[in-house]
Amino acid sequence: SIAFRPASENDLDSIHRIYNDAVIRTIATWDEEPWDWDRRLEWWEEHESPGCPVVVAADAMGTVVGFASLPPEQQEWLAVHS
């Protein structure tokens, strides 16, 4: 089974691996090159503010197998249009 929970800084390695794999193997992102670690840390800092949650999906063993987030710009749009 899959459980969803708020991401923590401990999940960043998994998030980074999953995202970069998607960049390389799919068309699921707009990025054409994998992110470096500094960019991932900047992304995490942007998402630590309230209203920019990151959620991870973890399997029964606790392994992170996916994640989701909203960019700060989307949060601003939602606040204006809600």
- For residue 8, count CB atoms less than 10 angstroms from its CB and return exposed for 0-12, middle for 13-18, buried for 19 or more: exposed
pLDDT at 50: 72
pTM of the model: 0.85
Who wins on pLDDT, 47 or 8?
8
% of the chain residues with pLDDT over 90: 73
pLDDT digits (tens, 9 = 90+) for 45-75: 988 877 778 999 999 999 999 999 987 766 6
Q: What is the phi/psi pair of residue 21, to 5°?
A: -65, -40
% of the chain residues with pLDDT over 70: 87
Nearest of 55, 49, 56 to residue 72 by alpha carbon: 49
Residue type, 16: H
Q: What is the phi/psi pair of residue 19, to 5°?
A: -65, -50
